[in-house]
Amino acid sequence: MLKAENLSYSYDDGTQALKNVNLEVKKGEIVALLGKNGAGKSTLFLHFNGILKPTKGRILIEGEELKYDKKNLVKFRQKIGIVFQNPDDQLFAPTVEEDVAFGPLNLGLEMDEVQDRVEDALKKVGMDGFEKKAPHHLSGGQKKRVAIAGILAMKPDIMVLDEPTSGLDPKGASDILKLLYELNGEGMTIIISTHDVDLVPIYSSKIYVISSGEIIKSGTPKEVFFDVDLIRSANLRLPRVAHLFEILEKRDGFNFNGEYPLTISQARRLINGN
Ligand code: ADP
């Protein structure tokens, strides 16, 4: 559905932020791009809606190459919605409902349709009842929800979220991922960037690990975290549950064949022997 082919990008000051990146997202997946700060996650995401144009390589959506003229970009941006890392970069209208209505209004939709979409989107993210509130009076998690509603109201095929859990407390972070999981259950294809290794295995079907602008590993959470040395070389760590089992194996003589559970439910199954 969305593909990056041999993508390289250098900023004007010469920083090579992406090196020959290949990535594919299929319909209905939740894909996580995992990397430490400065690895190139935001730079890659800015290519996903054509804000940045690759120095080399190309972006394909449904097999069609992205072109950078205005008409093509408008068409492309209706298919792919980006939720930026900082909701304050996204929310600017005086009220929540005006903010969520902004995108659909720009699409030239009828007022009735816009109202339906705003109502629907706010309900989906659990922010109905906040219509008249000023976005800058909301908490971090609520702002993220409204930013997500604003993108949902555009009805994109794919939602791209740059660090959706950053700046949130643990409950807020897990709630946002739960919401994304629900949206995915309703058919939305989702790409997130994160360095939260504890939450990623619970929610994503596929992971790409990025380090210094290069994709150094991809696969299911199990495949990726099995390569413990690579994870650490990318300045990431194992999920806490997996780390606990690693310690039990290396220091306490248990034997899990290096296959550590990544989530609490996987640990429970391993302990129960099924
Ligand atoms: P991440 O999102 O993983 O934290 P970024 O994509 O923001 O990483 O950054 C990747 C690299 O590109 C870093 O080395 C960063 O310093 C550099 N970079 C990001 N934005 C710019 C810019 N506007 N100009 C020059 N270098 C940049």
The b/e string for 228-243 (b: 16+ C-beta within 10 A; e otherwise) is eeebeebebebbebbe
List C-alpha distances in Å: 197 to 74, 202, 210. Answer: 34, 9, 13
Report the pLDDT value the prediction gives residue 274, as an integer from 0 to 100: 67
Query: Residue 220 Cα, ligand 1 centroid: separation in angstroms?
Result: 26
Query: Residue 208 Cα, ligand 1 centroid: separation in angstroms?
Result: 18
Query: Residue 16 Cα, ligand 1 centroid: separation in angstroms?
Result: 9
Length of the chain: 274
Which of the four pLDDT bands, split at 50, 70 and 90, describes residue 159? very high
Query: Residue 58 Cα, ligand 1 centroid: separation in angstroms?
Result: 19
Report the pLDDT value the prediction gives residue 82, as an integer from 0 to 100: 93
Averaged pLDDT for residues 28-48: 95
Task: Write out pLDDT tens, residues 3-12.
Answer: 999 999 999 9
Averaged pLDDT for residues 65-70: 93
Task: Write out pLDDT tens, residues 215-231.
Answer: 999 999 999 999 999 99
Asked if residues 187 and 177 have their Cβ atoms less than 8 Å apart, the reply is: no
| Phi and psi, residue 16, nearest 5° | -90, 105
Q: How many CA atoms lie within 13 A of 220 on its CB side?
A: 3
For ligand 1, whether the C-beta of 47 sits within 6 Å is no
Averaged pLDDT for residues 100-124: 94
Say how far residue 31 (Cα) sits from the centre of its chain.
Answer: 7
Query: Residue 250 Cα, ligand 1 centroid: separation in angstroms?
Result: 37
Report the pLDDT value the prediction gives residue 68, as an integer from 0 to 100: 94
The answer for residues whose C-beta is within 8 angstroms of residue 64's C-beta and 6 or more apart is none
Averaged pLDDT for residues 260-273: 90
Task: Write out pLDDT tens, residues 117-150.
Answer: 999 999 999 999 999 999 999 998 899 999 999 9
Give dist(CA 271, CA 265) in Å, integer.
10
Asked if residues 188 and 217 have their Cβ atoms less than 8 Å apart, the reply is: no
| Residue located nearest, by CA, to atom 12 of ligand 1 | 17
Q: Is the pLDDT of residue 16 over 90?
A: yes
Report the pLDDT value the prediction gives residue 145, as an integer from 0 to 100: 92
| Residue located nearest, by CA, to atom 27 of ligand 1 | 11
Mean pLDDT (the chain, rounded): 93
Report the pLDDT value the prediction gives residue 259, as an integer from 0 to 100: 86
Report the pLDDT value the prediction gives residue 167, as an integer from 0 to 100: 84
Region for 187 from its dihedrals, namely left if φ exceeds 0, alpha if ψ lies in -120 to 50, beta otherwise: left
Averaged pLDDT for residues 235-245: 93
Task: Write out pLDDT tens, residues 241-256.
Answer: 999 999 999 999 899 8
For ligand 1, whether the C-beta of 220 sits within 6 Å is no
Between 52 and 195, the more confident residue is 52
Q: For the domain 2-237, what is the CATH superfamily, name and number?
A: P-loop containing nucleotide triphosphate hydrolases (3.40.50.300)
Q: Domains of the chain: which residue ranges? A: 2-237, 238-274
Which of the four pLDDT bands, split at 50, 70 and 90, describes residue 86? confident
